[in-house]
Structure 1
Amino acid sequence: MNNERQQQILEMLEQKGEVQLQQLKDFFPEVSVMTLRRDLISLENEGYLIRTHGGAVSAKKVAAITGEEDEYSRRAAEHIEAKLKIAEKAVPLVERGRSIYFDAGSTIMCLAKLIPDESFSIVTSGANIALELLKKQNCTVITLGGHVNPNTLSVSGPNAVSYLDSINIDIAFMSASGLSPESGLTVSNVYECEVKKKVVRRAKKVVILLDSRKINKNMTFTYANLEDIDVLVCERPLPADIKAEAEKYGVRILD
């Protein structure tokens, strides 16, 4: 947690369960709405709250209402610091005036939260990522149609793959469950693999967001190899063998 003000916001949430942005502005009259909104974003990224339209709800209150956390929520809360570092490095790569694709996944979600509210045009396979992007007033959002995986909240299946044939993708921001020199970028779901394969084939530029826990890890299905991508973003320096293999194919490394 960054400061005393954020601690006070948490204490308010602890007492009331939820808080409105206007209430925070009244409580902190010397602080701008933009700064208070950044406080809420920071606290949400740390897992303390969930932002709503005009305010926030305590994560504890949501858990009490819904019961045990779902699988996606548990995974999203893991290694959040690494995911945020990766997303921060990737933000400058999100260009206006381009057709952009956001894959599903919790690291991509961090990127969706961090990009500025500007006139981006974004296609996504993440149902929750689409909802996050819609919080921004100036962002145009398109979702793929198909089956929603309850564990990843990603959309896949024949309809999703077919729809990708009808769109152009300048820059694709992709996730993976594993990366190794021998197997490339891998995932565990065959239907999601097919969607990712199609995106990589159609995109002019492919950016992989990958936290270091997934390096030298193999899942069942390969959707791309290092020669298929353009940029690899990680929160820490890559192992020597991965770095050498990536550099062999001219992959730009941000670590």
Structure 2
Amino acid sequence: MIAAERRNTIKNQLLKNNSVKVSDLVNQFNVSEETIRRDLNQLEKEGFLEKNYGGAILVNKQTHNPIVLPLQDRHQQFFKEKELIGKKAAELIEEDQTIILDAGTTTWHVTTELAEKGNLTIITNAMNIAEKCTKNEIADIYLLGGKLRRNSLSTVGPQAEAELKKYNANYVFLGTSGISFRQGFTSSDLYEAEMKKAMVSAGHKRVVLADHSKLQKAGLTSFCTFEDIDIFITSDLADKQILDNIAKAGVEVIVVSTDEESWNESE
């Protein structure tokens, strides 16, 4: 079992039991105590657990069980803001490039601006994004295989993660459930977080897209730090002080205007 799979199993046990013991994990995975302690150290850095004598406890279980709305409901939340963010992200893309689009209601909006861009190679784990990209009749579209998550119409799992290792994309566009200075960029699902990590590794430029409601929120687990991301795109509804702090961490912050003129232009 690879480290990522072992840590996901540890996370699931913490969510179920609130605590784990090092000795039990050593026996369960048949690895050394040092290996388990490295796992716990990493999960503590992600803000998922707090180590104690002989093991670890889950950090604030309630915050790690957010209500995830159905895809259609999430799609309608902050629709215009997400539309403007997606349009701005698409401006980064040039002809003949390879891009990876993460599943998400904000990344979906990137596709509306791709129809006229020539010779793109588009890779995604989202069925609805792949379908939308078919409007670009000359783009090569690759839908990653894996286990289907019905609530997001996305594929996850080792098969999809392994496929991503074949690619070296010009841009990776990622969604996020939350952004915090302690955990970085987070996801509300363990398996989607592993997909996002694989996407980060497959891209030359990594871009996170998020509406203003995602700031100062922490999802279930971290998928990357500020150091892993090149560009963050949000709107002027986001807290300026938070955006300044993200910029100080070395991330290029792009802020789209949501004034009436900009909103009308997007319609």
TM-score exceeds 0.5: yes
Question: Where does residue 109 of structure 1 map in the other structure?
Answer: 108
Question: Residue 130 in 1 paired to residue 130 in 2?
Answer: yes
Letter in 2 for 1:205: K
Q: How does 1:170-189 map to 2 (within 5 A)?
A: 170-189=170-189
Letter in 2 for 1:163: E
CA distance in 2, matches of 1:201, 1:167: 9
Question: Residue 84 in 1 paired to residue 83 in 2?
Answer: yes
TM-score of the superposition, structure 2-length normalised?
A: 0.66
Structure 1 runs (4+) greater than 4 angstroms displaced: none
Question: Residue 95 in 1 paired to residue 89 in 2?
Answer: no
Q: How does 1:14-93 map to 2 (within 5 A)?
A: 71-93=70-92
Give 5+ residue unaligned stretches, structure 1: 1-69
Following superposition, the deviation at residue 77 of structure 1 comes to: 1.4
Following superposition, the deviation at residue 239 of structure 1 comes to: 2.7
Q: 2:91 is paired with a residue of what secondary structure?
A: helix
Could you report, residue by residue, the CA deviation over 1:148-197 in whole angstroms, capped at 9, with x for unpaired residues?
A: 11111111101001111112122101100101111111111111111101
Question: Where does residue 145 of structure 2 map in the other structure?
Answer: 145
Following superposition, the deviation at residue 237 of structure 1 comes to: 5.5
Q: 1:132 is paired with a residue of what secondary structure?
A: helix
Give 5+ residue unaligned stretches, structure 2: 1-68, 256-267
Question: Where does residue 243 of structure 2 map in the other structure?
Answer: 243
Q: 1:234 is paired with a residue of what secondary structure?
A: strand
CA distance in 1, matches of 2:242, 2:228: 14
Cα RMSD (Å):
1.5
Following superposition, the deviation at residue 241 of structure 1 comes to: 4.5
**Percentage of matched positions with identical amino acids:** 30
Question: Where does residue 202 of structure 2 map in the other structure?
Answer: 202
Question: Where does residue 27 of structure 1 map in the other structure?
Answer: none
Question: Where does residue 161 of structure 1 map in the other structure?
Answer: 161
Verify the 8 A CA contact 1:112 1:129 in the aligned structure 2: yes
Verify the 8 A CA contact 1:117 1:139 in the aligned structure 2: no
CA distance in 1, matches of 2:196, 2:241: 24
Q: 2:135 is paired with a residue of what secondary structure?
A: coil
Verify the 8 A CA contact 1:125 1:155 in the aligned structure 2: yes
Question: Where does residue 212 of structure 1 map in the other structure?
Answer: 212
CA distance in 1, matches of 2:175, 2:74: 14
* Number of equivalences: 186
Could you report, residue by residue, the CA deviation over 1:28-85 in whole angstroms, capped at 9, with x for unpaired residues?
A: xxxxxxxxxxxxxxxxxxxxxxxxxxxxxxxxxxxxxxxxxx9211211111011011
Q: 1:179 is paired with a residue of what secondary structure?
A: strand
Verify the 8 A CA contact 1:226 1:245 in the aligned structure 2: no
Letter in 1 for 2:214: K
Letter in 2 for 1:112: T
Verify the 8 A CA contact 1:227 1:246 in the aligned structure 2: no
Verify the 8 A CA contact 1:181 1:242 in the aligned structure 2: no
CA distance in 2, matches of 1:235, 1:115: 21
Question: Residue 234 in 1 paired to residue 228 in 2?
Answer: no
TM-score of the superposition, structure 1-length normalised?
A: 0.69
Following superposition, the deviation at residue 252 of structure 1 comes to: 1.1
